[in-house]
Amino acid sequence: MTPKNKTELASAISGQTSRRDFLKVTGLVGGGLALAAAAPGWTQDTRKLVGGGDLNAYVQIRPDGRIVIYSGSPEMGQGIKTSLPMIVAEEMGADWDDVIVEQTTEVDTDRYGRQSTGGSYTVFLNWQMMREMGATAREMLISAAAIVMELPREELRAQDSRVRHLLSDRSRSFAELASLAQEQPMPNKADLQFRDREDYRILGTSKSQVDSLQIVTGQGDFGIDTRVPNMLYGSYTKCSAVGGKLVDANIAELKALPGIVDAYKVPGNGDVRELLDGVGIVGTSTWAVFEARKVLKATWDERNANKDSWAGFAEFASQQGDIGAEVLYEQGDVDGALEDPNNTVISSFYEYPYLSHLCLEPMNCTAHYRPGKNGAMDHLEVWLPTQSGPRFQTLAKQRYGLEKDQLTIHVKRMGGSFGRRTSGEYICEAIELSKLSGQPVKLTWSREDSMRHDYFREGGFCRLRGAMTKDGKLAAWEEHTIGTAVDGKPSRWTGVHPSTFPIATSAHARGSLTTYPMDTPSGPWRAPFSNTHAFVSQCFINELAEAGGRDHVELLIEMMGEPRWLEPKTFRAMNTERAIGVIKLAAEKGGWGRAMPAGRGLGIAFYFCHAAHVAELAEVSVDDQGKVTVHKVTAAVDVGPIINRSGALNQVQGSIIDGYSAMAGQKITMEGGRIQQTNLDRYPVLRIDAAPEVDVHFIESDYDPTGLGEPGLPPLAAAVANAMYAATGKRVRSMPLLDAGYRV
């Protein structure tokens, strides 16, 4: 509907009326989106020159000239709330200074598309749609200007939040045109034209993220900061060994404590991603409910609880041979190359630990469950830090029988996620406490809860074998991963992936898997699989280069072979030409081949994942006492055109520091099913004094852009390990460095 008076206009501007009429967005197979050609149902008699208007689901122009661009994807520090609106603004011809970015107030994938984030996929999946949203708005503004200015459309251009006449100095502001523009026919998607890269004014520049002011003034919109009327503070205590069933707890004693409102024995459904047995406590402050846990005495039946032992897993892995229980991939004649007496064959065993996500904002959720009365429906309102609002809708339907219109979802900014906030248990726990107390409850996990009950990056082992010919060419590649199995099935985060380098480029390659049963929950952790596979594979290439008497960079380039896509059906695949491009650039910019003083070395690593080609070169010194200093990391990155240069640089810098932090000191172990590191005192993290200089170079190839939240991380550990070998002559085949006697 078109606003017919000031009240309706104000209502439309504040987003209270449904904008559903204006544009229908339909999902396509494969996650793509198309604008359905649904012209908005405006009537001619309500035309106004001055006024606000929604041009589509993502764009609204306010009467004061401010352009609201909605962000439909959750923000967790990856910068998506800034980068996606930049794409819209560019196509539209908006002046970025006029743009206000607002988080969408509803989760509605029919209207906004995916609304989940992860896999460094969000830019890739939204690039086309954001361009279409911007271009659609631009064409409608130009149509309006053509009417008002009585000029042919072809002579008009949108720029700096105005539609300008190319042949005179006449122009109209977007604000003046908005109301009329929203009555214009929606252009055909197939007819939309996008701006040429050389004409970009916003894309490729550096923009400070849209919430910078809020963050630096302490007004950031994090879930843990939620405060709503009559809210109680909650905690939820589970068995330290995952799966323990609650037998009893001193509930009466808890309820008598100061600041405690109530306490409950909560039966779970046995699903670690939904609700496990626990003791819920609600009170008047977070501190009160945390303190009450010191008084809590709970008994647990641990007969079916987690009994995992890292030491047991490590012992098992050390006994495994060159080929695993299950060969998952084999190409060419691997055995022939390994047995050829003319070849040099080497074998190495690598280890990587479990890791915690360690999001600095602990898990939390605020929930208000309002039972329907007098025939009304139940309603659930949540303030939710999550990577996927739609996934919560599914959970609410399946577990609580709540339809979308019974849910009010406030998707909150996340204080880090890295793959962690994709599960449902911290949400379900908050909902249970709200149902039991009849009030809104903010559930906050302590740091210890957050580390004890993580979905860890799983640890594992890899035995590698390789053969080099007499003239230094790779003759065979073999990797045997010793990973985990959950309920008898290999974990999703382990295994052998034929599309990964160097299996994908090797004529003779074999990958096999042996699994060990582990009940410790695992999940995606920044660049899952890649973050461990890059370490073992790219270190071993360095070992092979040495065995074959080859320069590492030359060998890498040779292994890439002819320019080609390794999986022709998708352009998210690895391209050997792009790979060579980043390897050469990192080597050149980082000064590969320079003479180094004693105790100092250079190391390089390449990895492809998340549609990104990344090479990193590390300059590292190790002193006599084993003190490691990473002086500088040079990164070369090809993710296509850069959207927000500042954000892109920040992601690569941060990925490198995060990768080094994990490599240097982090290791989660478990015995008797209990996690042994539950706070920073036993889980060392990298501090500012050990942060290296990072020099980033982008190759802005003409392919569609893709995300940078993850792919900067995987090559780092291998680059540093290879540099440490160059510096010391000692191989680094396990992480973290602190465990191997180094200091950082």
Partner 1 sequence: MTRFTFNVNGADTQVDAPDEMPLLWVLRDLIGLTGSKYGCGIGQCGACTVHLNGEPIRSCLLPVSQVAGQTITTIEGLAQGSELHALQQAWIDKDVAQCGYCQSGQLMSAAALLRRNAKPSDADIDAAMVGNYCRCGTYIRIREAIHAAALSVDATAKTGAQS
Options 124, 233, 392, 606; binder of partner 1; rule CB under 8 A: 233
Q: Which is nearer to partner 1, 337 or 713 (CB)?
A: 713
What own/partner pairs with CB < 8 Å and gap ≥ 24 does 674-682 have?
Answer: 674/240, 674/241, 674/306, 674/452, 675/240, 675/451, 675/452, 675/454, 675/520, 677/356, 677/451, 678/447, 678/448, 678/451, 678/452, 679/447, 679/448, 679/451, 680/447
SS3 assignment for 436-474: HHCCCEEEECCHHHHHHCCCEECCEEEEEEEEECCCCCE
117 binds partner 1 per the rule CB under 8 A: no
Do β-strands 693-698 and 628-638 pair in parallel, antiparallel, or remain unpaired? parallel
230 binds partner 1 per the rule CB under 8 A: no
Stretch that binds partner 1, among 152-160, 470-478, 502-510, 688-696 (CB under 8 A): 688-696
User: Nearest 10 degrees: CA dihedral of 310, 315, 316, 317?
Assistant: 90
Q: Which is nearer to partner 1, 103 or 184 (CB)?
A: 103
Options 691, 699, 738, 740; binder of partner 1; rule CB under 8 A: 691
Give CA–CA dist 662/735, Å, rounded: 8
Do β-strands 298-301 and 245-249 pair in parallel, antiparallel, or remain unpaired? antiparallel
DSSP tag of 355? B
| Number of neighbouring beta carbons within 10 Å of residue 211 | 17
Options 37, 248, 270, 287; binder of partner 1; rule CB under 8 A: 287
531 binds partner 1 per the rule CB under 8 A: no
687 binds partner 1 per the rule CB under 8 A: yes
50 binds partner 1 per the rule CB under 8 A: no
Beta strand segments in 324-417, E: 326-331, 344-352, 364-370, 379-384, 407-411
Residue with tokens 């984030």, as numbered in its chain? 117
Q: Which is nearer to partner 1, 218 or 375 (CB)?
A: 218
Options 61, 467, 539, 694; binder of partner 1; rule CB under 8 A: 694
CB of 224 to partner 1, least distance (A): 7
97 binds partner 1 per the rule CB under 8 A: no
Q: Which is nearer to partner 1, 34 or 228 (CB)?
A: 228
What are the φ/ψ torsions at residue 6 (nearest 5 degrees)? -60, -35
Q: Which is nearer to partner 1, 418 or 607 (CB)?
A: 418
583 binds partner 1 per the rule CB under 8 A: no
Give CA–CA dist 41/21, Å, rounded: 8
Q: Which is nearer to partner 1, 80 or 580 (CB)?
A: 80
What's at 729, amino acid-wise? G
Q: Which is nearer to partner 1, 78 or 537 (CB)?
A: 78
Options 37, 39, 215, 325; binder of partner 1; rule CB under 8 A: 215
CB of 257 to partner 1, least distance (A): 11
224 binds partner 1 per the rule CB under 8 A: yes
265: exposed, middle or buried (Cβ count in 10 Å: 0-12, 13-18, 19+)? middle
CB of 87 to partner 1, least distance (A): 18
Task: Work out the angle between the directed axes of helices 714-728 and 645-665 (0-180°, nearest 10).
Answer: 60
209 binds partner 1 per the rule CB under 8 A: yes
Interface mask toward partner 1 for 385-424; x: CB under 8 A: ----------------------------xxxxxx------
Options 46, 188, 208, 299; binder of partner 1; rule CB under 8 A: 208
* Residues within window 621-660 making contact with partner 1, judged by CB under 8 A: 646-647, 650-651, 653-658
- Going from the C-alpha of 99 to that of each of 90, 221, 292, 306, 585, the distances in angstroms are 11, 19, 47, 51, 36
Binding site for partner 1 (CB under 8 A): 76-79, 206-209, 211-213, 215-220, 222, 224-225, 227, 233, 258-259, 284-287, 290, 358-362, 413-418, 444, 446-447, 646-647, 650-651, 653-658, 661, 679-681, 685-689, 691, 693-694
